Structure 1
């Protein structure tokens, strides 16, 4: 699913439930941060090795995937409310990063 399809599906889902009135830019940004905090709870106090080991448990992996999805959902709806095309924004940011952090030729 591309960004446009995702955005359309999320807006349709939201609007069918009458939630648009709650989805102001401020509320969506706050909600994204709240969900990101909940995602971080899965990693708090764990080493990278422990986190990767935990992802072998399908239930734990699904819980983390759900939190990542929640963050993406809120950010997609925020971009929609602000008139930002996510595909264009991501492509533009990649180009900026490529200019800012060019690859260096490594001599053999």
Structure 2
């Protein structure tokens, strides 16, 4: 929990030193998450996972960090506790994907028999 608060403090300090809070509304942060996720995806375009993971680890880390930074900022704007919302979502996912039906199975929960 402390680590989450510390990294959020660092993110907000970086933003505030540049007076960027004015640009970081929920819509624009959501757009930025999507754009950065697309940049992450672009690394894999026309390549195997292994090629990218083995040869572009630094770029992968940077793009993933961008997605996470914007995600943390959005959660902060909405006053969501990141650990709490993740825990709640994991509980929901466990209900939708019970081990007996989902283990070794990549079907969507709607397609379970």
TM-score, scaled to structure 2: 0.80
Gaps of 5+ in 2: 104-113
Q: Which residue of 2 aligns with 1:54?
A: 52
What does 1:1-108 correspond to in 2, within 5 Å? 2-46=3-47, 50-57=48-55, 60-104=56-100
Post-superposition offset of 1:2: 3.2
Greater relative CO, 1 or 2 (CA 8 Å, sep 6+)? 1
Q: 1:22-78: per-residue Cα shift (whole Å, max 9, x none)?
A: 1111111111111111111111122xxx32133223xx2101110011000001101
Q: Distance in 2 between matches of 1:90 and 1:68?
A: 17
Gaps of 5+ in 1: none
Q: Which residue of 1 aligns with 2:110?
A: none
Aligned length: 101
